[in-house]
Amino acid sequence: MYLKPILAFFLILCSAFASGQAIQGFIYDESNNPIPYAKVYMTNTSSNGGSLGAISDEEGKYFIGCNQGSYNLVYKCVGFEDYEITVTVKGLQPTVHNIYMKQKDNELGTVEIKTKKRNVGWEIVQRVIDHKKDLIQQYDSYSCDIYIKGTESFDVKKKPEKENDDPDDEPNDKFQKQKDEINKKLNGENRLNMVEINIEKHFQYPNKIKEIRTGYDKIGKPEQIYFQTTTGGEFNFYKSLVRQEDVHKTPIVSPLHPSGILSYKYKLKEIITEEGSNDTIYKIEISPRSVGTSTLEGFLWIKKGDFVLTKLDLAMHKGNLKKYDDFHIIQSFEQIDSFWVMTRQSFEYSTKYMKETIKGITTVAYSNYKFNPVYPPKYFSNEVGVTTEEAYERDSTYWGSIRPEPLTQEEQRKKFVQDSLTAIYTSEEYLDSVDANFNKITALKVLIMGIEHRNRHKKTQWFISSVAELFNLSQGGVRIGPEFQLFKKWKNEQWIDFSGNFSVGLNNGDLRGKGRIYHRYNPKKFATWSVWYSRDAEFINSFDAILSQWNRKNWYINNQGGVWHSFEILNGLFLSTGLRVERRSSFDTTYKFNTWLDNALDQSFPDQFDPYYVLRTNIGLEFTPGQKYMTEPKRKVILGSVWPTFSLYQFVPRWPSSKVSLAD
């Protein structure tokens, strides 16, 4: 009777144990880069029959299911020396074994461009792979000037407009045509997002960077333009894997990977002899062997003799892109003071949103290289960028003098229109008219929406609630009173925010309300203090059922106030402290409540108790190791960290935690 269930249970248990036994791990090269598509197989026959094997995935991970026992494993990959080891599987959990494979010394001689039987394109690329380690680290440090220009244009599919010939229609707004023309220029064919940035970059091997932004200009809304800082977006194809998580989902196998032949096809397309020199350039076409998500397609230009990249033009596979429909990279390299460095790169991309196609182009020019400068101690830190005070004040003369090439006629035309419209819409007269319209008091605002007032010159804005919002139902009945808010900001990025409300009960004439002030007094330290006070009715048990919560036995009066402060002690280390004082008391025995629903809710008068005080303090620490940031003239911009944020909070009740009667 019980045999079948017991047998089934043991079969499931055994299968679970069997599935847990395996050999797995990652396969890396000597530089700790994953090696994709490496073969792993057993040379001895396993007890479950046949030879077992696997192929590593794009991250270099492999997995071989097996039984307990000892296995001779061989790891093979094109471009690497074979690796053989014996692994013993004992327990039920997978046995982890990570492997580091050594790159083969290329035994190819001088590349001969004669025979058709060999893969000449791959042989030329192998010569680059042979000494790419020297190209990755040619110097210990460098500095250079970088000019970035990014633009985004918009293509919108519009339906043809129908003409309205009905003579009985009411007359149109006389000024609508002019409004439409301005709107069309601003958001139609002349719509353009553009940014120009001038940077002094300082770099020290292996990954220390400091940028000094000396010029910044924008039109439109260029926040989404790709590559506005060199702290990210480094596409170095001399590395075996390219990782740019803001662009693609999985790491990209470089065409210069030692086992690149497994991912790409290489074809010599052209032999170019440069004019004025005897230099020979090989143009190699690369294409993916299969429609994968971690590969590229395009061209490499390789200089004979030096076997270095002089140019590349590569496109990413759409299936691996996060937010773009296509992404195109072009890079150019030159030899300066015996070092091969990038002198220009561009990114071209597009994406569709609704009925709109956004096309972006970012061009980057590198100049004035200085190699192996000596930097003072602690010059490099988590502060990876600084923006100078005058960066935002540069005029057209400055930009005309530093641009590597002038703006195109189309860019000049659109920039002129955008600058003109921006001047109009940011003028004092226009903003005053917008504020005047915004501040206009109407019946709708008074009765329903609430009244707001703004002053752009003084950077102030206030709000007061409408007539409809004056009335609210609370513990004790209907109450009447306004809500309000005041915000003020200064040019130094400091700000203050005050909000609150007060009300009078119609039954008892008692006052309740709350108010809070926030003040950011040091934007570079995120230093903020707050003071608050509140008098209101609260629930003793706010987690009870709704009907129980609204039973008067669950109500009491709470007068409370407190202070709070938070600031950044050191980069990434934030300290917050607070203090709260409460005076808790019961409702007076003469207090009048609404009795509309007393029978339905089985209401009774609130419990009576002696008033008592509670003092609570709290302290909190948050720390983000390795937090990167940029310093603006008046504020600090946090860029994040590869580490998580660690938090520690301590709440300390005082004076006392239990109820104690105190004299009023």
Strands, E, within 256-355: which ranges? 264-273, 280-288, 296-303, 309-316, 326-336, 339-353
Least confident of 49-53, 224-228, 411-415, 491-495: 49-53
SS (H, E, C) 461-511: EEEECCCHHHEEEECCEEEECCEEEEEEECCCCCEEEEEEEEEEECCCCCE
- Cβ atoms of 574 and 566 within 8 Å: the answer is yes
Asked if residue 273 has pLDDT above 90, the reply is no
- Split at pLDDT 50, 70, 90, the class of 550 is confident
Torsion of Cα atoms, 538 then 540 then 543 then 547, to 10° = -80
**Confidence class for position 109, pLDDT limits 50, 70, 90:** very low
Residues 6 or more apart whose Cβ sits within 8 Å of residue 57: 36
Residue pointed to by tokens 């409809």: 468
pLDDT at 384: 93
- What are 129's two structure tokens? 């792979």
The answer to whether residues 513 and 532 touch, using CB atoms and an 8 Å cutoff, is: no
Range 456-460 average pLDDT: 87
pLDDT band at 183 (very low <50, low <70, confident <90, very high): low
**Residue 589 pLDDT more than 70?**
yes
Mean pLDDT score of the chain: 84
pLDDT > 70: percent of the chain: 85
Give the pLDDT score at 16: 43
Does residue 206 have a cis peptide bond before it, meaning omega lies within 30 degrees of 0? yes
Largest Cα span, the chain:
108
Which pLDDT belongs to residue 529?
A: 97
Q: What is the pLDDT of residue 176?
A: 47
HEC profile of 308-336: CEEEEEEEECHHHECCCCEEEEEEEEEEE
Q: How confident is the model at residue 655 (pLDDT cuts 50, 70, 90)?
A: low
Mean pLDDT of 233-241: 87
Q: Please report which confidence band the pLDDT of residue 603 belongs to, taking 50, 70 and 90 as the band edges.
A: confident
Point out which residues pair with 485 in neighbouring strands. 463, 499
176-213 exposure pattern, b = at least 16 Cβ within 10 A, e = fewer: eeeeeeeeebbeeebbbbbbbbbbbbbbbeeeebbbeb
Q: Are 576 and 530 in contact (CB under 8 A)?
A: no
pLDDT computed for residue 134 by the predictor:
86
Lowest mean pLDDT among 38-52, 84-98, 643-657: 38-52
Q: How far apart are CA 228 and CA 258, in angstroms?
A: 32
**Residue 565 confidence (pLDDT) above 50:** yes
Position 161 confidence tier, pLDDT thresholds 50, 70, 90: low
Residue 145 has a pLDDT of 97
Using only the alpha carbons of the chain, give its radius of gyration.
Answer: 35
Segment 560-577 mean pLDDT: 96
Which of 397-426 are b and which e, b meaning 16 or more Cβ less than 10 Å from the residue's Cβ? Answer: ebbeeeeeeebeeeeeebbebbeebeeeee
pLDDT the model gives residue 600:
66
Residue 569 DSSP class: E
Find the mean pLDDT for residues 622-629: 95
Of 173-187, 237-251, 342-356, 595-609, the poorest mean pLDDT is in: 173-187
Confidence grade of residue 248 (pLDDT, cut at 50, 70, 90): confident
Contact 41, 7 (CB under 8 A): no
Residue with the larger pLDDT of the pair 241 and 157: 241
E strand or H helix that includes residue 219: strand 208-219
The pairing of beta strand 22-28 with beta strand 95-96: parallel
Residue-level pLDDT at 21: 79
Q: What is the mean pLDDT of residues 359-379?
A: 95
Q: Show the tokens assigned to 252.
A: 């990209």
Query: What are the structural domains of the chain?
Result: 18-100 (2.60.40.10), 132-157+175-424 (no CATH), 458-654 (no CATH)
Residue-level pLDDT at 309: 96
In DSSP terms, 307 is beta-bridged to none
Q: Is the pLDDT of residue 499 over 60?
A: yes
Q: Best-predicted range by mean pLDDT among 203-217, 412-426, 473-487?
A: 203-217
Of 277-291, 454-468, 596-610, minimum mean pLDDT range: 596-610
Does the pLDDT value for residue 292 go beyond 70?
no
If one compares 560 and 107, the residue with the highest pLDDT of the two is 560
User: Given this model, what pLDDT does residue 265 score?
Assistant: 93
pLDDT for 173: 46
The answer to whether the CB of 184 falls within 8 A of the CB of 177 is: no
Question: 3-class SS at 14?
Answer: helix
pLDDT digits (tens, 9 = 90+) for 123-139: 999 999 988 888 888 99
Q: Is the pLDDT of residue 179 over 70?
A: no
Q: How far is CA 270 from the centre of its chain?
A: 41
User: Average of pLDDT values for 232-237?
Assistant: 84
Per-residue pLDDT band for 164 (boundaries 50, 70, 90) equals low
Closest CA to 215 of 151, 145, 152, 153: 145
According to the model, what pLDDT value does residue 19 have? 46
pLDDT at 97: 85
Average pLDDT estimate for 516-524: 96
| 3-state percent helix, strand, coil for the chain, nearest multiple of 5 | 20, 45, 40
pLDDT of residue 37: 79
Question: How do strand 555-570 and strand 511-522 relate by DSSP bridges?
Answer: unpaired
The confidence score (pLDDT) of residue 366 equals 97
In Å, how far are 27, 30, 96, 103 from 60, measured between CA atoms? Answer: 5, 13, 13, 15
Sign of the CA dihedral with 186 first, then 189, 190, and 192 last: positive
Strands 628-631 and 383-387: parallel
Higher confidence at residue 493 or residue 68? Answer: 493
**Helix 176-187 to helix 409-425 angle, to the nearest 10 degrees?**
130
Sign of CA dihedral 392, 397, 403, 405: positive
Pairwise CA distance, residues 410 & 439, whole Å: 39
Q: Does residue 260 have a pLDDT over 80?
A: yes
More confidently predicted of 220 and 633: 633
Instruction: Say how far apart CA 154 and CA 186 lie, in whole Å.
Output: 12
More confident residue, 260 or 329: 329
Residue 7: what pLDDT?
43
Q: What are phi and psi of 94, to 5 degrees?
A: -60, 140
383, pLDDT greater than 80: yes
**pTM of the entire predicted model:** 0.74
Cα 451 to Cα 515, 518, 625, 657: the distances in Å are 19, 22, 45, 43
Of 112 and 625, more confident:
625
Structure tokens given for 367: 């100049």
47 CB neighbour count, 10 Å cutoff:
8
Question: Under 8 Å CB-to-CB from 577, ≥6 apart: which residues?
Answer: 564, 565, 566, 617, 618, 619, 620
Q: Compute the distance between CA of residue 571 and CA of residue 638 in angstroms, rounded to an integer.
A: 10
What's the pLDDT score for residue 291? 66
